Amino acid sequence: MKRLAKWRMISMFAIITLLLSGCGEPFLSTLQPAGEVAKEQFDLMMLSVAIMVGVIIVVTLIFAIVVVKFRRKDDSIPKQVEGSHKLEIIWTVIPIILLLILAVPTVASTFKFADVSEMDKKNEDGKTDALVINVRANLYWWEFEYPDEEIITSQDLVVPTGQKVYFNLKASDVKHSFWIPAVGGKMDTNTDNVNRFYLQFDEQKANEAGDLFYGKCAELCGPSHALMDFKVKAISPDEFDKWVADMQSVKEAETAETPLAQQGQEVFNNSCIGCHAVTPATGAPEAARLGPNLTNFGERSRIAGVLDHSEEELKNWISDPEAYKPGNKMTNAYNKLTPEELDAVTEYLMNLKVQD
């Protein structure tokens, strides 16, 4: 009997896992975990679902019997029962055991996910062996700083697969929350303190997801909270090292190549550079980094996190940011551009690339 129950549990577990893992898109769904953290969280979910489905089945059985069997048939008065100590003990003790089964792995995982001791281990150069990324959340964009590599990028987070990536999380204006559903649970970016956690990106799953995971802001932060998306490019460690080197090679703003782009650079230097940097250097204070860093803008996957990466959408965005992200800080921060200036800036921005 006991063995039978165990088999039932396992087969139920398998069925539920199979059913749920088909749900959602591989680049977004927590049900298609693409990394160690998400996988462990998924397993915990499935364990709790299995236990809970068991509870639901028991309740449903009793429920069905009751509503079918004990309908009023005549005017007789049923026996008045006070209760039953035996039953009371059964339905107190069994839930406690079930909860213990869930509580043990919960506590273990909670401590495991909080283990960021690698972030504190500095080698001789004063750097960490593990990759650390500082995430700064802003109304409605994300900045990613690689302190050891001394580069900054925005909106598209670039990470290597197959290793733990550690994050320092904070917000510069109001509270946000950093969430890459397919790769692992979220953590808030507070205004008060720096939160720390780690994620790990699975190479094969990244390929299945088209090397691009969707990241979300999960804490209400204002009108455009729904549009505060970012993307995660998970690439192999070699490609990542190459990308870092390419970024590091940009020491100062590169001069645009075509005449139109040069004209655009001029406009950019007059109107945009107050907020947007085009070099990845980490030197400027945070308060001066008012807008997303655009060093590798031409290689990004979206404009403003949500629009297609095309010249047309870029022009739409620059012409009227308020129409696409209400309440953003870019609106009215610069003078309106003429159509010619718009063409030029677009040309310039779309050609901001670091990878050769």
**Contacts of another protein in 88-117 (CB under 8 A):** 88, 91-92, 95-96, 99, 102-103, 106-107, 109-114
Q: What is the three-class DSSP state of 78?
A: coil
Task: Select the residue interacting with another protein from 6, 7, 60, 241 (CB under 8 A).
Answer: 60
Q: Which is nearer to another protein, 273 or 306 (CB)?
A: 306
Per-position DSSP letters for 151-172, written without gaps between them:
EEEESEEEEESSSEEEEEEEES
**Per rule CB under 8 A, is residue 190 in the interface with another protein?**
yes
Contact characters 155-184, another protein, x per CB under 8 A = --------------x-x-xxx-x-x-xx-x
Distances (CA, A) of 275 to 58, 100, 177, 269: 61, 53, 23, 10
Q: Which is nearer to another protein, 219 or 246 (CB)?
A: 219
| Other Cβ atoms within 10 Å of 78 Cβ, number | 7
Rounded CA-CA distance 127/109 in Å is: 28
Q: What is the DSSP secondary structure assignment for residue 304, as one 8-state letter?
A: T
Rounded CA-CA distance 231/158 in Å is: 9
**Per rule CB under 8 A, is residue 80 in the interface with another protein?**
yes
**Per rule CB under 8 A, is residue 258 in the interface with another protein?**
no
**Per rule CB under 8 A, is residue 50 in the interface with another protein?**
no
Q: Which is nearer to another protein, 88 or 241 (CB)?
A: 88
**Per rule CB under 8 A, is residue 71 in the interface with another protein?**
yes
Per the CB < 8 A criterion, the answer to whether 179 and 189 are in contact is no
* Closest to 163 measured CA to CA, from 200, 194, 126, 192: 200
Pairing of strands 156-160, 230-235: parallel
**Residue 297, amino acid:** F
Phi then psi for residue 174, to 5 deg, are: -120, 170
**Per rule CB under 8 A, is residue 7 in the interface with another protein?**
no
Task: Select the residue interacting with another protein from 8, 121, 122, 193 (CB under 8 A).
Answer: 193
Q: Which stretch binds another protein (CB under 8 A): 22-30, 236-244, 264-272, 277-285?
A: 22-30
Rounded CA-CA distance 4/132 in Å is: 48
**Per rule CB under 8 A, is residue 218 in the interface with another protein?**
yes
**Per rule CB under 8 A, is residue 249 in the interface with another protein?**
no
- CB neighbour list of residue 116: distance below 8 Å, 6 or more residues apart: 166, 196, 197, 198
CB of 29 to another protein, least distance (A): 5
Contact characters 270-309, another protein, x per CB under 8 A = ------------------------------------x---
CB of 145 to another protein, least distance (A): 19
Task: Select the residue interacting with another protein from 224, 271, 295, 296 (CB under 8 A).
Answer: 224
**Per rule CB under 8 A, is residue 321 in the interface with another protein?**
no
